Amino acid sequence: MTDSHTRYPLLTQILSIKNLPLQPMYSTGAVAKIFEVSARAIQNRVAAGKMPARDLPGRMRFLPDDLEAYLANSKRRPFQRAA
């Protein structure tokens, strides 16, 4: 079995900082807690195609693979001062 720290290095780093366990599946609320945003912000990212999610009957769920891919593909924009 693959070590979760090797398989999900970015996700496990965030989870360890926040003292949260790695789970086999996450709800929208749990993902919002991990990223310190509202559940609506997560729903908006999914609707815009910016974050992958699994569509279970009536609910979105996120696998660790989904979150790791999102983190690996996300880029922080540099701060820009208003003119």
Cα separation, 46 vs 35, in Å, equals 14
Q: Is residue 20 part of a domain?
A: no
Q: Is 42 part of any domain?
A: yes
Return the structure tokens found at 27: 């709800």
Q: For 42-61, write each residue's pLDDT tens digit.
A: 999 999 999 999 988 878 99
Look up the domain containing 66 and give its range.
25-74
Determine, yes or no, domain membership for 48: yes
> How many structural domains are present in the chain?
1
Q: Is the pTM of this model over 0.75?
A: yes
- Give domain status of residue 70, yes or no: yes
Question: What is the DSSP code string of 5-20?
Answer: HHHSHHHHHHHHHTT-
43 found inside a domain: yes
Which residue numbers in the chain have pLDDT < 50? 1
